[in-house]
Structure 1
Amino acid sequence: MTQVLLLGAGGFLGRPVARALQEAPDFTLKVAPRRSALDLLSAHDADWNRLLLDPVPDVIINAAGRTSGTLQEVHEDNTLLVATLLRHLKRLRLTPWLVQFGSAAEYGPTDRAPVPESFAGHPASSYAQSKFDATQLLLRHFGSGEARGVTLRIFNPVGAGQGPQTLPGQAALKFRQALLDGAETVAFGPLDSARDFVNLRDVTAAALFAARLEQGPPVLNIGSGQATLARDLVRDLARLAGYRGEITEQAPPSARSAAVLWQQADLRTAGALGWSPVFTLGGALEDLWHSLPPTFPTHKETPHGSVHL
C-alpha cells in the first residue's frame, strides 16, 4: 500500500482527490489538518514531525493554495508553503514523491497554439507568479536530488463545488440568481478570451496517475487539449440552466485574466506516459450546475468575467 499525505483536502481540487484516494485500493490516505486547526506556515517542528513521521508518507500531494488575495497572501500560501515543506523534508531526511498542483497561469500569455511544458513562463498576475515561483523552487530541488516529484500544470478545471472566483462558478451563480429573481439580463465582462477548460474528474484522475508515477518529467500539463471561448462556455451553461434572457458583456474586465487571451494545453508528454482526458466539458458544466444549492442568499459579487488560469 502506498501511504499518501494530502495537503489542501478541503479545497475545490483537494476534496475530490481525497475521495478518490480513499476509494483506491492501492493508497492509504492521511489528510493534513485544516488551516484553522494547524497553520503549516507557523507550525513548530514537533507539528511537522507528527505530520511527516506518523506515518512516513510515500507520496505527498500538495493541493493547498490560494487563487486570490494580496501579493503577500498568495506568496505565503502558494510559494512559502512549498518552501516550508521542502525545508522540513530536508530536516527529517525524507524524500517522498511530491505531486505539486501548479497552474497554467504560470505560462502567462501564449500564442494561439498548444503550449508545451518547455514554454518559458511569463506570469501575468501575482497568483501566477506565486505558482511559478513554487514550481521553480521545486525544479531546483529536483535537479539537485534533494527532492523528487512532478508539478502538474493544471489548466482551467470545471466541476462540482466550483466557487465564484472563477468564470464557470460565477456564471452558474449568476444564472441561478437570475432564474430565482426573474432577471432578464445577466452581465459579464468581455468573453472573447479562450481557455483550456478541463473536467474536474480528469484533474482528479491525473492526480492519482501522478501519485503512481514514482519517476518522470518534472512538469506535466493537465488539461483538455482544447481551447474554448469563454463566451461559448457561458452560453452552454445558460442553456443547461434554462436561462433564456439576455447575456451582455459590458461589465468591467477581470484584472486577473485580461492579459491572457488564449491558453491551450499541449498534452503530448502526459499522453506518452499514459494519461489523457476522458471526460467532457459538457459533463463538467452539468456537475457544476447540479452541485448548486436550490436556493441561497444573494452572493457577494466578484470581478466580472474572471477566469481561473
Structure 2
Amino acid sequence: MTHHGPAGHHGAPGHAHAHDAAPQDDELAQILDLDAELFADHLAATTRRIADLATGGVRHVVDLGAGSGTGTFALLERFPEARVTAVDSSATMLDRLTRTAVARGLAARVQPLRADAGQPLPGIDAADLVWASASLHHLDDPAAALKGLFTTVRPGGLLAVAELDGMPRFLPDDAVPDRPGLEARCRAALTALQTEHVPHMGSDWRGTLEAAGFAVEYAHTEELRLDARTPSPAGAGQYAYLALRRIREAVDGLVDATDLAALDTLLDGGAQDVRHRGDLDVRSTRELFLARRPADTGR
C-alpha cells in the first residue's frame, strides 16, 4: 500500500504527492520498517496463521500496497517457494523495496509493479495469496476493489486483510504534566481529519469481503502493546518521534496553540523529547481477516 493519506501508510499521518513525494515516502518507509521491527512477533504470528490456512501451496503472492516491503519479505520467509508481486503506486517505495531485495539476495523472487491498488492489476491472476496490509481503507472504493481482487485470487486461494484503527498511541496521559490528555486531543483531531479524507478506516471488512464473494475463515482484533519503560526497545523512541512529527504537521490548526507547543517539546531534542524518554507505551489496535475464494465458485 502505498496505503497513504492523512493517516498515511500503516496509520502514520500524512503522505505527499507530486514534487515532495520522495522525501515523504522515505520517512514513511522508516516508520514502516520500525513498526515491523518492533512488532515482529505479531507479524510472524500473522504469517504463521496464513500458512495454517493455506491449501494447495503458496507460490505466487501479491502484496497489495507493498510500501517498503515489510510484508513482502515476511511472506517470502514464511513461504520459501513463493515469489511476490509487490504492488505500489509510489516509485520511491518500489525502488527501496527492490534495493532491499537485492541486498537480501531475493531479487529473483520479487517482481515490483507500479500500479494503483484500487484498479485491476495488469497481467495478474490466479494468485495463491493476496496480502493487503493497511491498504484497503485508503482506496476510493474498497468494495469495488475487493470484487476485482476476487478474480486475482485463484479458486481456493486466500486474501489476507490487515487493518488498524488509526494512528498508534505512544504517550502516557501525563507525558506533558501541564497538558494532560495531550495525545488524546491530538488523536481526536486526527480522527476527524481521517473521517473526511479516509472515510473507509474502520469499515465492516468482514461484510465487505463477503459481499465480494469471499468466505471469511478467520477474523481477529488485537491490541498490540509495546511497553517500552523497562527497558526501552531499540527503535521505539525513533518510531514515536517520526509518527508524532507527522501528527504535528497534520493537526496544525486543528488543536489549540498551547497543545501544539506542548507537542513541540516532545520533538525538539530536549529532555522531554520522545527519543529520550523512558515512559513510552506504544499501543495499536489491529484487525486481521483471512478470506478464501471458494474453490467451487463459477464466478
Structure having the larger proportion of residues in strand: 2
Q: TM-score range by the shorter chain?
A: 0.3 to 0.5
* TM-score using structure 1 length: 0.37
